[in-house]
Amino acid sequence: MKKLYLYITILIFGVAFNENTNPQLDDNQIAKKMFQAIWNQAMEAKSKVKQVTPNVREELLSNLCSSAPSESFITHADLSDSLTQAENTSASVFVSTDNQSSWIENSNVAPLDLPGYETTWGATTATSGGNNVHWYLSGSIDSQSLGLGFGQIIVAQSPYNANDQWPPSSNLYGVMATDPTGETGSGQDIIGVRATYSDTRLYASMDLNGSCCSEGGFFGPWNLYSIAVVNPDAGDAPTAYAYVFGNGGLGQIYPGIYKIDGDLTTGEVAGFEVLSTDFQYSTNGNSLQANSALDIIVNDAGWGTWPNSFNGVVLVGVVVSAGGDIIFGGTPEILDTTEPGVLVMTTQVQNGNIAPTLSNPILSDSGEVSIFYTDLDNNLATVKQVSIDNMTYDMIPSTHTYSEGVVFSAQVEGGGIAQFNFSDGAANVSLEADLGGAGCSLLGDANEDSQINVLDVVLTVNLILNPNGQDNLCSDINGDGQLNVLDVVSLVNLILGRS
């Protein structure tokens, strides 16, 4: 007891002394110092993501498409050239056929390196089949391979918490960041950040190596646990948001959603405020979990445009501690923090299947045959072939936006009847078309010797006089589908150089 009285006496004397030497340091400034540490990490995370996302944001998760639900489920994603060539770029696809109760993780995602898929990464995941599927993609980018000086950044989708389950079960979370262990005491040692979302709410979890979450003692140290949220599309706006759990700073800090404003020029926090206490949090087990209506954050004036360019947020975990010496001008200590993680709030879902359609078969003069493939489910084509004159050709897509319709083409020999055979992985569709004969690489070159001369006139006249069922697209100069004297006149004009 005597020791306690002595400690209190020393503390009171110290405070009084500090008031004389630093009269501006009050309880609000103590809290401000702790939020300064969170703001610093949030702004650093924002800066990192802004540097990486020009290469990642649209490209890593662009043109996501899949086959129809099937036992051999195929997924595709297009990457930019810079990411395809970058070292330590990796991706995993997560697939669920039981309404997200469990997920199959497939890390065997690799470049296809095929014509029409030069920058496409694909994976085939073995499933139990069925007519329904959820899936999402997670990519990890080594910033150093992009010429930047920090570690891996995860850009990921997540499961979809459709029913706003609270707290979300582990199968509804996606990993946004991982962090090494042993950097501080287990109760403040972050091992990762996870997230999920619904139509209206954002959910985040900061996972610790030990039990969560010790707020600290009356005289310190005070521990502050936070999951910072920033919008990298907000330009130079110096504002961070955070789900915060703690009870320090002489009562100025308590659980809530905080808005922290700073000055990028000076690097100093200008102020902080409780944006809302209308949020849920849990410190059970080894995790700080929190969620709120997304509108509380994204509708704030400091957030910026929403939805942003990738319909997502940047998350970073931070644990800050302030000892009793902060009263005497000490500085809070960042016990642990994570690299930023980018949550893209989308998940691919398909219930049932609509068969694709084929239309507009064409054979060009150069011998290229094409067909228009449309799949309202945005399913890729697992089979994409055309057969002509007992020869089968694999066809190449022009783009990968299958719900909008894509032209598939192939260079062929011969012409006449073509059989197109396609599949989306579940439904098989075919189309037979009369393409009207072989292709022509040089109009008028009836004998295909790469020259237009009198020999071609002789052959064309013979075909007119003795057709015997023969077609020659190169002789059909006027393109009316018939060989007659008009084509001979046009051919002579070609030889003489007349239009």
- What's residue 80's pLDDT? 65
Mean pLDDT, residues 203-227? 89
pLDDT bin (cut points 50, 70, 90) of residue 182 is very high
Confidence (pLDDT) at 132: 97
Q: What is the pLDDT of residue 254?
A: 85
The topology (CATH level 3) of 353-438 is Immunoglobulin-like (2.60.40)
* Averaged pLDDT for residues 234-261: 84
pLDDT at 187 > cutoff 90: yes
pLDDT confidence of residue 9:
37
Q: State which of 13-17, 153-157, 337-341 shows the largest mean pLDDT.
A: 337-341
6 confidence band (pLDDT: 50, 70, 90): very low
Q: Count CB atoms within 10 A of the CB of residue 106.
A: 19
Backbone dihedral angles phi then psi of residue 264, each to the nearest 5 degrees: -65, -25
* pLDDT confidence of residue 3: 39
Q: Where are the domains of the chain?
A: 28-348, 353-438, 454-496
Q: What is the mean pLDDT of residues 468-482?
A: 70
Residue 7 pLDDT greater than 70, yes or no = no
Report the distance separating Cα 341 and Cα 193, nearest Å: 8
Of 229-233, 248-252, 368-372, 490-494, which has the strongest mean pLDDT? 368-372
How sure is the predictor about 440, in pLDDT bands with cuts at 50, 70 and 90? Answer: low
The structure tokens 């030069």 sit at 118
Strand 287-293 and strand 201-208: pairing?
A: antiparallel
State mean pLDDT over 96-107: 97
Q: What is the pLDDT of residue 247?
A: 73
Amino acid of residue 88: N
Question: Does residue 243 have a pLDDT over 70?
Answer: yes
pLDDT digits (tens, 9 = 90+) for 446-455: 887 778 888 8
Mean pLDDT of 208-221: 84
Say what the pLDDT of residue 226 is.
96
pLDDT, position 219: 67
Q: What is the mean pLDDT of residues 317-339?
A: 83
- Tens digits of residue pLDDT in 351-393: 999 999 999 898 987 889 999 999 999 999 999 999 998 899 9
